[in-house]
Amino acid sequence: MKEIIPPPPAIVRNDMAAIQALFQKNVVPSYARFEVAFSHGSGSYLYDVAGRRYLDLGGGIAVCCLGHAHPEITKALVEQSSKLIHVSNLYYTEPQGRLAEALVNLIGPGKVFFCNSGGEANEGLFKLARKFGHDEGRFEIITTLNSFHGRTLAGIAATGQEKVKKGFEPAVPGFRHVPYNDLAALRGAISPATAAVLIEGVQGEGGITPATPEYLLGLRALCDEKKLLLLMDGVQDGHFRTGRFQSFQRILEGVAPSTPANSGPRQSAALQFLPDGISMAKSLGGGFPMGAFWVRAPFADLLGPGTHATTFGGTPLACAVALRVLEVVQREKLGDNARAMGEFLKTGLARLAQKHPRVIRGVRGIGLLIGIELAADHAAFANNGKAPSIQFVNRLHEAGLLTIPAGSHIVRLLPPLNLRQSEAEEGLKIIESVVAKPA
């Protein structure tokens, strides 16, 4: 199914200390980094500067959807960069038009704006909401507690977690937070100034919490009733990670649509739900940085000429890479693989949770977006000063596995969508070895 990538040559020089010294002297210390420096990768594996191999089930935080050093990504980069890298959005280029068409075909009738990151894609949605409500004096956006929407000033105002806001007050005005999966709370927070609602289909940084189908369908009805834009942040849970292109399509799969009031053809629940805007980034470029947002047809021309722009948005290079990534994902049916490998990992982890309930409290998620909930009160995690999730991730590193912490006691698995079963088995074995001896 997946291209066979030859293993890279072993690296023998361990430059870890020298690299760390460069960072300490020259890089803004805004990230708490783990004690590993990587030099290269191949498929689902990464190699550190000492030549040690790690199985990467973190995928660069849900970015490397085809794994590392995928030959088709390299080929697209080489082919397109030898023709045209950038011309600016003063002109037309074919790859941007073709990628927009591909995304519209995967979501529904609408149009796409291209940018460079998830935070920037969400900024676009915030501006869309303000433009939409502007003439009626509506500007507020309701988001949910525990959400994550990026680190820009408006992104931290939108994010429903205090820790990202601290020290950066005053907050950008116009955001309110309500509990997730709670329709009554959302209804109660709507004011005459409300213009939009923004949610993640599966809360990612907040600890892998999926929306319920009832919540999604209820939100659509509520937004229609109150004339609000329904916006989805699909940055982490999008791009087939849940098995379908967008998480709402997966969550609403098999859900009965409500009967339409008119006698028109019955639509699927996902089509009935169709949001008004969706932000995307992370896996879109398979590691090449890019973001985008899709706007549903009735609102697709709200951001007219001169209202929104970014120099690097939708360069021919970024779009050619994203088109190739999509082509591989669809050709190799990696959405189906995400479902199958997700189920395989979740079943194995549930078995581990049953065997070691004092270390693992539970497992949740959809497809290859999986959260392992640690028992925060386990003695092995006490008296270290670090969150249990960080301690556990560190122990997995020592055992040769990369995972991603979320909050104080959730560890996330966000592996490449082309993960093989043998790699999933290897990951489970490593996790079991650490769970069996957590101290």
Ligand X SMILES: Cc1ncc(COP(=O)(O)O)c(C=O)c1O
| Residues within the interface to ligand X (CB under 6 A) | 61, 117-119, 122, 148-150, 200, 204-205, 233, 235-236, 281
**Could you tell me the smallest distance in angstroms from the CB atom of residue 236 to ligand X?**
4
**Could you tell me the smallest distance in angstroms from the CB atom of residue 151 to ligand X?**
6
**Could you tell me the smallest distance in angstroms from the CB atom of residue 355 to ligand X?**
31
Pairwise CA distance, residues 92 & 95, whole Å? 9
Return the sign of the alpha-carbon dihedral for residues 104, 106, 109, 115: negative
Pairwise CA distance, residues 341 & 337, whole Å? 6
In this complex, which beta carbon is closest to ligand X, that of residue 108 or of residue 289? 289
- Alpha carbon dihedral 277, 160, 290, 45, in 10-degree steps, equals -130
Rounded to 5°, angle at Cα 286 from 283 and 288: 110
In this complex, which beta carbon is closest to ligand X, that of residue 43 or of residue 286? 286
**Could you tell me the smallest distance in angstroms from the CB atom of residue 281 to ligand X?**
4
In this complex, which beta carbon is closest to ligand X, that of residue 235 or of residue 374? 235
**Could you tell me the smallest distance in angstroms from the CB atom of residue 124 to ligand X?**
12
Amino acid (one-letter) located at 39: S
Pairwise CA distance, residues 70 & 325, whole Å? 10
In this complex, which beta carbon is closest to ligand X, that of residue 230 or of residue 434? 230
In this complex, which beta carbon is closest to ligand X, that of residue 95 or of residue 206? 206
Contact present, 162 and 175 (Cβ < 8 Å)? no
Question: Tokens representing 284?
Answer: 């879109």
Pairwise CA distance, residues 49 & 276, whole Å? 45
Amino acid (one-letter) located at 103: L
Contact present, 234 and 278 (Cβ < 8 Å)? yes
Tokens 């043998």 sit on residue = 422
**Could you tell me the smallest distance in angstroms from the CB atom of residue 270 to ligand X?**
20
**Could you tell me the smallest distance in angstroms from the CB atom of residue 161 to ligand X?**
12
In this complex, which beta carbon is closest to ligand X, that of residue 352 or of residue 404? 404
In this complex, which beta carbon is closest to ligand X, that of residue 150 or of residue 287? 150
Bridge-partner residues for 413, per DSSP? 370
Residue 14 vs residues 10, 51, 53, 55, 227: alpha-carbon distances, Å:
11, 8, 13, 19, 59
Residue nearest to ligand X (CB): 118
In this complex, which beta carbon is closest to ligand X, that of residue 156 or of residue 323? 156
Which residues are within 8 A (CB) of 18 and not within 5 positions of it... i.e. 6 or more apart? none
Pairwise CA distance, residues 322 & 285, whole Å? 5
Backbone φ and ψ of 29, nearest 5°: -85, 45
In this complex, which beta carbon is closest to ligand X, that of residue 414 or of residue 435? 414
**Could you tell me the smallest distance in angstroms from the CB atom of residue 233 to ligand X?**
5
**Could you tell me the smallest distance in angstroms from the CB atom of residue 263 to ligand X?**
39
Amino acid (one-letter) located at 154: A
